[in-house]
């Protein structure tokens, strides 16, 4: 099998304690976190993109897309983030971890991030679980339905990233769709609902929609205008 690349999405919500800090403390905490995520040096794990989820979901504020290395390396980076002043105020809402590799149904197709493509303006990220019946179908039938699914998707300017996640969480795959237009993303997902393979979808929520921001911007946007304590 072609070598796979570990990748994952970490979705965080700010705890209420964050708003009780004064502006000086919040600013210092954010700068610490920025340093951890941008000064990786020779670290094998890299940050592909950071996303703001503010205004999209009531239960999440920040999403980080990490790529490369191994689980120990990823954990090391996240532990360093947790040790910053921001860390105690970040509550992990979801973790979607998996391996990116060429598709088993279309070996010439691989995730956009493995092709070196620049991250899209928007990313819709969700887990995916197929019904048990899907895995009992003949291989030929599965390939036919996945080919139809691929044809429908290629009609849109939406880039797909699928991670294999069997045994890594409560899901079998992680899907990240990247687009420059929200309308294009909506049209693509609606069209994909008409594919025969949809009959074999057991679960594909929760979905997190993020607006890509430079990591410095994404983290600084976590700082509210006001706050507790003495003003900085």
3-state secondary structure of 232: coil
Average pLDDT over residues 195-203: 98
What is the model's pLDDT at position 232? 35
pLDDT level of residue 102 (50, 70, 90 thresholds): confident
| 2 pLDDT above the threshold of 60 | no
Q: CA 93 from chain center: how many Å? A: 12
Mean pLDDT over residues 204-229, rounded? 87
3, two tokens = 């070598």
pTM of the predicted protein model:
0.93
User: At residue 133, does pLDDT exceed 90?
Assistant: yes
Output the pLDDT for position 225.
Answer: 64
pLDDT at 231 over 60: no
Burial 166-176 (b: 16+ CB within 10 A, else e): eebeebbbbbb
- Do residues 96 and 152 make contact, with C-beta atoms less than 8 angstroms apart? no
User: 10 versus 1: which is more confidently predicted?
Assistant: 10
Residue 72 makes CB contacts below 8 A (sequence gap 6+) with none
Give me 14's structure tokens: 């700010």
If one compares 105 and 81, the residue with the highest pLDDT of the two is 81
pLDDT at 1: 44
Query: What CA–CA distance (Å, rounded) separates 33 from 63?
Result: 14
pLDDT value for 230: 42
Q: Is the pLDDT of residue 23 over 80?
A: yes
Cα angle 120, 112, 183; round to 5 = 40
Task: Report d(CA 65, CA 175) in Å as an integer.
Answer: 12
Average pLDDT of 182-204?
A: 98
**pLDDT tens for residues 24-71?**
999 999 999 999 999 877 678 999 999 999 999 899 999 999 998 899
Estimate to the nearest angstrom the gap between the alpha carbon of 4 and the chain centroid: 17
**Domains, the chain, with CATH or none:** 5-220 (3.30.70.3420)
134 phi, psi to nearest 5 deg: -60, -45
**80 pLDDT tier (thresholds 50, 70, 90):** very high
For residue 123, pLDDT over 90 is answered with yes
The predicted model gives 161-190 an average pLDDT of 97
pLDDT mean across residues, the chain: 92
Q: Is the pLDDT of residue 229 over 60?
A: no
Which residue from 92, 131, 113, 128 is spatially nearest to 10, judged by alpha carbons?
A: 92
Closest CA relative to residue 52, chosen from 121, 3, 100: 121
- pLDDT of 5 above 70: yes
Q: Which residues are catalytic?
A: 126
pLDDT at 177 (0 to 100): 98
Q: What is the mean pLDDT of residues 85-101?
A: 96
Measured between alpha carbons, how far is 73 from 111 in angstroms, rounded to an integer? Answer: 21
């Amino acid at each position: 099998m072609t070598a796979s690349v570990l990748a994952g999405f970490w979705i965080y919500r700010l705890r209420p304690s964050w708003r009780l800090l004064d502006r000086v403390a919040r600013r210092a905490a954010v700068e610490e976190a920025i340093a951890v995520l941008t000064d990786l040096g020779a670290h094998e794990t890299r940050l592909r993109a950071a996303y703001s989820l503010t205004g999209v979901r009531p239960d999440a504020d920040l999403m980080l897309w990490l790529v490369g290395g191994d689980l120990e390396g990823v954990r090391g980076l996240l532990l360093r983030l947790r040790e910053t002043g921001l860390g105690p105020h970040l509550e992990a809402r979801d973790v979607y971890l998996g391996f990116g590799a060429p598709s088993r149904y279309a070996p010439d197709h691989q995730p956009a991030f493995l092709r070196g493509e620049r991250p899209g303006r928007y990313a819709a990220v969700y887990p995916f679980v197929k019904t048990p019946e899907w895995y009992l179908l003949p291989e030929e039938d599965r390939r036919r339905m996945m080919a139809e699914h691929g044809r429908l998707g290629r009609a849109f300017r939406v880039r797909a990233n699928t991670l294999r996640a069997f045994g890594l969480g409560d899901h079998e795959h992680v899907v990240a769709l990247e687009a420059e237009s929200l309308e294009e993303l909506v049209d693509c997902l609606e069209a994909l609902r008409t594919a025969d393979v949809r009959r074999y979808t057991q679960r594909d929520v929760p979905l997190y929609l993020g607006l890509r921001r430079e990591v410095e911007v994404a983290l600084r946007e976590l700082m509210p205008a006001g706050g507790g304590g003495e003003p900085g």
